[in-house]
Structure 1
């Protein structure tokens, strides 16, 4: 059984390994191994994870069973949209998917931002499992990322109202 808790610096190596594994399992077929390696090196490096851990108005969670991390989630208040929390990451190791780990991390993240009125997430259009998950949790499509988005990756933007 996994327990959701706030991540600490000592978790970051395991979080990085989890992100590398889940990104390859999810995105290799969309972008190829080389692109996924490039993105994980940039976005999931220890300095990048440490910066997220230190960010104000953010929450960095892990699902821990005492032996291993089964998932992670990271959300932060938007710098550009009032009363909006952005769900930047919600990843569960493939062997633990569809067992409620993602649901539990997500449920905890929903409660961490009492001043937020909505939660926003961007999902790769081909990632049908993620789109299904978010729609099942009350998200609706509100648009797409602009072509000149810094990530260079296509994404569908989804939002969900949060009850205070």
Structure 2
């Protein structure tokens, strides 16, 4: 893959079945060893249903991107603006077969560029997802604190990571 072969654009309703398939595949790849197949299936069915994904299209406060190689969706990213003007990365996944090719780095850069006034970017990452943590550290993120996703007790343990985007 070369960067010129990669297309990143806003997600469309027609993309949602492929995005859902990508999310199910990447979640099972990343989290089956942590939570087990059944729990991962429950989470992906709730968080990545077609209805849940459709509700994220066209939000004024955020972006929902897909990365394509040819006609194939190989990655997705979502981010939103927080009340303190921070850019909150809510999703960044790349097909396991395409990881390590620069797709995640490019998706992250494009997603954060959609928030030029944001002084900082934040994200939540599963505390046992060592590959993702290492990726985000390479991208300049640092650990802020530990938490539960959205503060709910039925969700994974997460690390809150941040990256300064503009000098204040």
TM-score, length-scaled by structure 1: 0.93
Match of 1:124 among 126, 144, 149: 126
Partner Cα distance (2:36, 2:121) in 1:
30
Shift of 1:106: 0.6
Partner of 1:155: 158
Q: Could you tell me which runs of 5 or more consecutive residues in structure 1 were left unpaired when the two chains were aligned.
A: none
Shift of 1:4: 1.1
- Runs of 4+ off more than 6 Å: none
The root-mean-square deviation of aligned C-alpha atoms, in Å, is 1.6
Matched positions, count? 162
Pick closer, same or farther for the CA change 1:148–1:114 going to 2, 3 Å.
closer
Partner Cα distance (1:18, 1:156) in 2:
23
Partner Cα distance (1:65, 1:92) in 2:
12
Partner Cα distance (2:11, 2:137) in 1:
26
Pick closer, same or farther for the CA change 1:57–1:127 going to 2, 3 Å.
same
Whether 1:54 aligns to 2:93 is no
Q: Could you tell me which runs of 5 or more consecutive residues in structure 2 were left unpaired when the two chains were aligned.
A: none
Whether 1:89 aligns to 2:91 is yes
Shift of 1:148: 8.5
TM-score, length-scaled by structure 2: 0.91
Partner of 2:116: 114
Match of 1:22 among 22, 26, 29: 26
- SS of the residue corresponding to residue 18 of structure 1 reads helix
Partner of 2:145: 143
Partner of 1:65: 69
User: What do the CA deviations read for 1:125-155 (whole angstroms, capped 9, x no partner)?
Assistant: 1111100110111101000115982252100
Whether 1:39 aligns to 2:30 is no
Match of 1:98 among 97, 100, 104: 100
- SS of the residue corresponding to residue 91 of structure 1 reads strand
Pick closer, same or farther for the CA change 1:125–1:105 going to 2, 3 Å.
same
